[in-house]
């Protein structure tokens, strides 16, 4: 699991009678991002990478790539997918439930739909993160 720590630095000033002084404070917060393998082996995923919005098999998909070239498939709501397609990002964080594409026999594939959204199949394995 990758951990990114964000440090917020500020200045605190105190006034006691006629003495005044300033000191620094740091507030550390952290966000934990999962690896591709951790994401795909859990029910819920928090992941960060470079998103690529594209047309996959049967619908729209976002493939999110890590710096080492691994990727996960994600399904975005229509408005978010369109915004990402118009204005690509270098990096973004996603969260969502993880689903496995159903197995089919023969040359036929299953068309997947969740809450009225058709799921496009990407090239990053047989699982996908459903982003609200």
Give the integer Cα–Cα distance in Å for 85 and 98: 22
User: Would you kindly state where each structural domain of the chain is located, as residue ranges?
Assistant: 32-130
| pLDDT tier at 93, thresholds 50, 70, 90 | very high
Q: What is the mean pLDDT of the chain?
A: 77
Question: Is-contact 31 6, C-beta < 8 A?
Answer: yes
Choose the most confident range, by mean pLDDT, from 47-51, 65-69, 102-106, 121-125.
Answer: 47-51
Which pLDDT score is estimated for 63? 95
Give the integer Cα–Cα distance in Å for 109 and 102: 9
Spell out the residues 6+ positions from residue 88 whose beta carbon is closer than 8 angstroms to its own. Answer: 51, 52, 53
Span 89-116, average pLDDT: 83
pTM of the model: 0.71
Question: Is-contact 53 74, C-beta < 8 A?
Answer: no
Q: Is 58 left (phi over 0), alpha (psi -120 to 50) or beta?
A: left
Predicted confidence (pLDDT) at residue 21 exceeds the cutoff of 80: no
Which pLDDT score is estimated for 109? 62
Please name the fold of domain 32-130: OB fold (Dihydrolipoamide Acetyltransferase, E2P) (2.40.50)
């Amino acid at each position: 699991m990758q951990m990114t720590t964000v440090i917020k630095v500020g200045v605190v000033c105190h006034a006691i009678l006629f003495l005044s002084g300033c000191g620094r404070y740091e507030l550390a917060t952290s966000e934990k991002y999962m690896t591709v393998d951790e994401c795909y082996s859990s029910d819920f995923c928090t992941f960060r990478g470079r998103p690529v919005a594209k047309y996959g098999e049967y619908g729209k998909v976002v493939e999110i790539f890590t710096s080492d070239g691994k990727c996960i498939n994600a399904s975005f709501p229509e408005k978010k997918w369109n915004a990402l397609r118009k204005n690509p990002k270098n990096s973004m964080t996603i969260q969502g439930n993880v689903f496995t594409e159903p197995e089919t026999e023969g040359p036929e594939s299953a068309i997947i739909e969740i809450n009225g959204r058709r799921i496009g199949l990407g090239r990053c394995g047989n699982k996908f993160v459903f982003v609200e």
